[in-house]
Amino acid sequence: MVVTATDQTVEVAKGTKLDVNNFAGDVNVKVSDKDAVRVEVNHSDRETVDIKQMVEVQPDIDRAVDEAMREVGPEIDRAVSEAMAELHAAMPHLVPMPNPMPMPRPLQRR
């Protein structure tokens, strides 16, 4: 077995979350006053080390979905109601709803 060294430094903002997935071996974490994370690994040449810097965008996505639903949600409800009414008028035996059912409102994210 050949031992390979991986040594990589990634710049990060203060308060960044560190997530380590390790399947074997030791993990040692040391702190410093630098805005960076240094990853030093000695591993077999058959093993891989994957260092990624990820940005969390979930709160931004949730906010965008909420805004879009507030803007477009009533239009979608109206379009579905109109389509159901047209479908019932064209094929009353297949769509036996005299009045289209209202679509449920999307859950509000907190």
Residues in the chain: 110
> Does the global pTM surpass 0.75?
no
- Give dist(CA 80, CA 87) in Å, integer: 10
The pLDDT, as a whole number, for residue 108 is: 67
Contact present, 109 and 66 (Cβ < 8 Å):
yes
- pLDDT tens string 47-73: 888 777 776 666 677 777 778 777 877
Mean pLDDT (the chain) is: 76
Mean pLDDT across the stretch 94-100? Answer: 58
SS3 content of the chain, % helix, strand, coil (to 5): 30, 15, 55
What DSSP state is assigned to residue 17?
P
- Give dist(CA 5, CA 93) in Å, integer: 72
- All structural domains of the chain with their residue ranges: 3-44, 56-110
Name the phi and psi angles at 69, rounded to 5. -65, -35
Contact present, 52 and 62 (Cβ < 8 Å):
no
